[in-house]
Copies of this chain bind each other. A is one copy, B any other.
């Protein structure tokens, strides 16, 4: 399980469409299908129901979606904590001003 797989999964779930998800992620469909496939294989469950109009989240997929969002949110928080755009929230302002 990698962050890339998790993010790919979330986007596919949001779009309900591998092609659309691929556009959002700036990759082609095959890599996305494979990432999802690898994730399902590792977890040993089927995350989506394949329909002729796209992908529908299954119960296991909905459960993973919750976990995935939390993980990605934490990662985003960590990244922001070190982003140069804004100072850390708890370190206090510099006394230079």
Contact = CB atoms under 8 A, between A and B. Distances in A.
A75 B82 CA distance: 21
Given A67-B77, A88-B63, A82 B2 contact: no
A86 interface: no
Most buried by B among A3, A4, A60, A88: A3
Q: Is the interface of A mostly helix, strand, loop or mixed?
A: helix
Q: How many copies does the complex hold?
A: 2
A52 interface: no
Interface size class of A (residues with CB under 8 A): 20 to 34
Contacts of A49: none
Interface in A17-71: 43-45, 60, 63-64, 67-68, 70-71
